[in-house]
Chains A and B, each alone.
Chain A
């Protein structure tokens, strides 16, 4: 079980939330080429280690928030204290 700290609801079992994946910088849709836009949509670093990622508090406050998680150990830390 992975316990995810929602800034509003506190620690929650990850099954109460949805993992929206690693944070990828979003290109400007007005100026991005198709290639840039699709790279943003599909390509991921998928590292085995610390990653900054977005979670959606599906069954709680329904907010999106960002945390850092180590994908090799599932340890979680606040982006603020890294």
Chain B
């Protein structure tokens, strides 16, 4: 099968192992054209998936994905790779669940092992009000056919024995929202899979090409930008590219790009930090999230514990690690799992998150014709990459907003029609 170029298989692995023959490059470095049908800014998962579905589902292949750095260098290469669909609003649940379905068949669809592990996802409740939110989420989830329920401390202990469920702790575990289909995936492989497939279908992946400006005509603002106008192309560090359609998939940098088109966003950029320990014997079978303690943890197949938290409180584009983060993280994790006090942290890192006031994304058309956004992914956008690509591609190809993303329109802020996901997205990414 050569649908995505060079096919990976057990036979190939054996042959390359024996002959030590080099593997072919996963994607090329194409010569930039002066114009494209669609220019996508941002070579993270969202930009790459949008390009792939444009080509695969709609036959639109005259497409460029432009990134100022390398593919997956933004949030897509820095996240903690949690996938789940137990959100709070019906719009959110239906949307994220479609993404889980795409993740299910992704390894076969893209001919690349993305190491999807649906190991179960626990969101702990330490207070009555947290338990109330869990019950609310469980009912919304069940109504939409999502496997999700509230369980008691004994069941939590049975599923994850390393958790301290005793009642004399500072934050006793009163119960949890249990979501068996939730889990983790190998984020780099997902990015590479979409990049390889899009490249093979003819999409141009233009790395180290920074967008400096979006060129518009006919708008209300300066230089023809802003509402009422339309897009004619982009100015990049490697020259101008003309295109009637420009898509903003730049996550943490989304406001900077959108301001170039004269379309302000309801977004502030905050860093989110994560950390990983040295590897140890596998003992943690589920993904564990605690909203009250601002921490979540999962164990990789290599045995490292991967930790995350909520975003840094001060908005900034500077991604440096802080001691506050590690201190708080260690304290809170030991509340949950006192047994790991001797484990050492190996690394900590940080990425930019584009936070919206209602913790839902901003997707689809904007007041500038031909300028579309797929932004506002905050701390939860990795799991959404496949469905975001699929629905953005449909919206671009048909000119009509895909049904699954209708609620996420850019107008909802000024229309006063927010989609409040905070109860399901503030910590558990």
Residues of A within 8 A of B (CB): 1-2, 14-15, 18-19, 21, 34-35, 38-39, 41-48, 71-74
Contact status B255-A35, CB under 8 Å: no
Say which one of B178-186, B196-204, B310-318, B384-392 lies at the interface with A. B310-318
For residue A38, which residues in chain B have a CB less than 8 angstroms away from its CB?
A: 413-416
Contact A72 B318 (CB under 8 A): yes
The residues of B that contact A43 with a CB separation of less than 8 Å are 264-266, 413-414
**Nearest CB of chain B from residue A37's CB, rounded to whole Å:** 9
B317 engages A18 (CB within 8 Å): no
Distance, CA A35 to CA B415, complexed state (A) = 7
Check B317–A42 contact: CB distance below 8 A: no
Smallest Cβ-Cβ distance to A15: which chain B residue:
B324
Report yes or no: B416 in contact with A34, Cβ–Cβ below 8 A: yes
Number of residues from B at the complex interface, CB < 8 A: 24
- Name which residue of chain A comes closest to B317, CB basis: A48
Chain A residues closer than 8 Å to B266, beta-carbon distance: 42-44
Give the CA-CA distance A47 to B268 in the complex, in Å: 9
Q: Which of B365-422 contact A (CB under 8 A)?
A: 413-416
Flag whether B357 is at the interface (Cβ < 8 A). yes
Chain A to chain B contacts (Cβ below 8 Å), 22 pairs:
A1-B322, A1-B323, A2-B314, A2-B316, A15-B313, A15-B324, A21-B268, A38-B415, A39-B264, A42-B266, A42-B413, A43-B414, A44-B266, A44-B268, A45-B255, A46-B255, A46-B315, A48-B253, A71-B269, A71-B315, A71-B316, A74-B318
Option from A2, A15, A42, A47 in Cβ contact (under 8 Å) with B357: A42
Report Cα–Cα, A14/B313, bound state, in Å: 9
Kindly state the separation between the CA atoms of A20 and B316 in the bound complex, as whole angstroms: 13
How far does the alpha carbon of A19 sit from the alpha carbon of B416 in the complex, in Å?
A: 24
Give A39 to B255 CA distance when docked, in angstroms.
15
Q: How far is the CA of A41 from the CA of B323 in the complex (A)?
A: 33
Contact of A48 among B256, B267, B324, B357 (CB under 8 A): B256
CA distance A48 to B268 in the complex (A): 11
The reply to whether B318 and A73 contact each other, CB–CB distance below 8 Å, is yes
Task: Give the docked Cα–Cα distance between A39 and B357 (Å).
Answer: 12
CB within 8 Å of A: which of B307-351?
A: 313-318, 322-324
Q: Is B259 an interface residue (CB 8 A)?
A: yes
Q: How far is the CA of A38 from the CA of B316 in the complex (A)?
A: 23
Bound: A15/B268 CA distance, A: 18
In the bound complex, CA of A12 to CA of B392 (Å): 45
Cβ-defined contact, A18 with B357, below 8 A: no
CA–CA, A28 to B126, complex, Å? 43
Does A21 contact B316, Cβ atoms closer than 8 Å?
no
Q: Of A15, A42, A44, A74, which contacts B316 at CB under 8 A?
A: A74
Assuming the contacts A38-B416, A42-B413, asked whether A18 and B313 have C-beta atoms less than 8 A apart, the reply is yes
Are the C-beta atoms of B265 and A44 separated by less than 8 Å?
A: yes
Contact A14–B314 (Cβ < 8 Å): yes
For the complex with contacts A2-B316, A21-B268, 13 further pairs of A-B residues with Cβ separation under 8 Å are: A34-B416, A35-B414, A39-B264, A41-B357, A42-B414, A44-B265, A44-B267, A46-B315, A47-B256, A48-B317, A71-B317, A72-B317, A74-B316
